[in-house]
Chains A and B, each alone.
Chain A
Amino acid sequence: AQTIHQWPVAEIKAVGSPLSLGCTIKGKSSPNLYWYWQATGGTLQQLFYSITVGQVESVVQLNLSASRPKDDQFILSTEKLLLSHSGFYLCAWSLARTYEQYFGPGTRLTVL
């Protein structure tokens, strides 16, 4: 069975500090991977998606970047956090031709 793991579970960071969030998928070969940001209050915004290793497409610009160094790994990062980066970051996966996305447990980020 497939599992999706995100790390860390929660993070408290200072404005201007760097950030790296990770996501791994086990049990699925060559999944499509996604990063989402959920603001306090609930709105979900798709940030990035990746169809294959080394290829990442940006959906919105929020001073964040993403990389896919391995087939089962997706990384979200920034060199300088802003207050507006606070929120809930969700990783998701899907398979080509099925479209439904399955979400990881999420990382709660607080920027002070």
Chain B
Amino acid sequence: DAKTTQPNSMESNEEEPVHLPCNHSTISGTDYIHWYRQLPSQGPEYVIHGLTSNVNNRMASLAIAEDRKSSTLILHRATLRDAAVYYCIGFSGGGADGLTFGKGTHLIIQP
């Protein structure tokens, strides 16, 4: 898996957009970028993943730099329920490979 670097923590206000950055300068051409989040006292939750193109789903958007060395997870309108630790992973695993999370970004949402 590619090494990723994320800020330790970020703070945002409720109902505002949040941009969570991730650097993955050693990513290989076959590594997908996956994002998970973990709310307090819960298991990790899949958020989004992509390879080269920007991706959108009902939870978030993923913007991937053209050189693929960085990406940004975008929460369009943060709520208090989005307060969690967000993990970015560069992963090209086969079907049964385990995940390795780094320290992630602790997102704090202010009401």
| A and B bind | no
A-side residues, CB < 8 A to B, are none
